[in-house]
Structure 1
Amino acid sequence: MSEQQHTANLDPPTVPNVIAFLSSLLQRVAESNDLGLRFRPQRISAFHGLSPPTISVQSYLERIFKYANCSPSCFVVAYVYLDRFVQRQPLLAINSFNVHRLIISSVLVSVKFMDDM
């Protein structure tokens, strides 16, 4: 094996575009709902943290992709789960206090359904 082929095998996997798209979408939803915290009633749940995490949504999704070893389709299914959750629980909006915990929960369920053997 040539040196170039050897180093190519050691490079971290490239992050699929779906991660950037979903992170942008979820970040905008969270920021929008953060603005509405003062005006719309929202329920506090077990997913809420005391403060927003310091890691960005995009970095968090990239980290999950890197270490969880799940397929890009899992992230799409995870978003579908989040969307369905929000539709069924309108008072529990995605915001910066719960977005990370909701992401990891939905990805976990998605991986179990899509990739687990």
Structure 2
Amino acid sequence: MSTILEMLRTLEPESLDDMIDLTAKVINSLVRKGDQNKSIHTQFYPPNNKLPLISIRDYIHRLFKYSPCSRECFIMSLIYIDRLMLECGLSLNSYNIHRILITTLVISTKYQDDIFYNNEFYSQVGGINVQEMNQLELELLRLLNFSANCSNDLFIQYSREIDNLFERNEYMSCT
């Protein structure tokens, strides 16, 4: 199983303009792998039987545009997603990724930033109702054993790999 951190280390830097492109590329790759494995289409609570109409890239763009949170929150979201895959065996797929993205962002914002909005605000950004947002937050925290912390070293690893990828991208575009 590929992790986001492994992908950041090996990703080709072509056409990555910003954090949205990077996040979308990594997440789309993981979702494609999860969609191929039909036997493990584990749904993220509560079950979602319809595919969302918005693309993953457009959804990530929406989260970046309307979520008043720091870059560090988006990095923490990637760390949480890796933890869900590695520690909980959760498979990302087209049915659960949108919910996982908004929920990891909510938890990372509440944990990481000094200023954050309530779940009603984030439910509007994420396109779900507030009751579902509350259930998703509780379910994700349960899966993470109510541990939203991350070691400083691990956070620096992810951040450094993202910065290195953008540096490689900039170098490639200059040559």
TM-score (norm 1): 0.76
Are residues 33 and 17 of structure 1, via their aligned partners in 2, closer, same or farther at CA, if it must alter by over 3 Å?
A: same
Q: Confirm whether residue 73 of structure 1 aligns to residue 72 of structure 2.
A: yes
Larger radius of gyration: 1
Per-residue deviation, 1:94 = 0.5
In structure 2, C-alpha distance between the alignment counterparts of 1:93 and 1:48, rounded to whole Å = 14
In structure 2, C-alpha distance between the alignment counterparts of 1:21 and 1:47, rounded to whole Å = 28
State whether residues 47 and 102 of structure 1, in contact with CA within 8 Å, keep that contact through their aligned partners in structure 2: no
Partner of 2:31: 30
State whether residues 30 and 99 of structure 1, in contact with CA within 8 Å, keep that contact through their aligned partners in structure 2: yes
State whether residues 30 and 92 of structure 2, in contact with CA within 8 Å, keep that contact through their aligned partners in structure 1: yes
Gaps of 5+ in 1: 1-15
Partner of 2:110: 112
The structure with higher relative contact order (CA 8 Å, sep 6+) is: 1
Measured on the aligned residues, the alpha-carbon RMSD in Å equals 1.7
The code of the aligned residue for 1:56 comes to S
Per-residue deviation, 1:96 = 0.3
Partner of 2:100: 102
TM-score (norm 2): 0.52
Work out the percentage of aligned pairs sharing the same amino acid.
Answer: 28
Per-residue deviation, 1:106 = 0.3
Partner of 2:91: 93
Which aligned segments of 4 or more residues in structure 1 are displaced greater than 2 angstroms? 40-45
In structure 1, C-alpha distance between the alignment counterparts of 2:46 and 2:78, rounded to whole Å = 16
In structure 2, C-alpha distance between the alignment counterparts of 1:47 and 1:87, rounded to whole Å = 21
Gaps of 5+ in 2: 1-16, 116-175
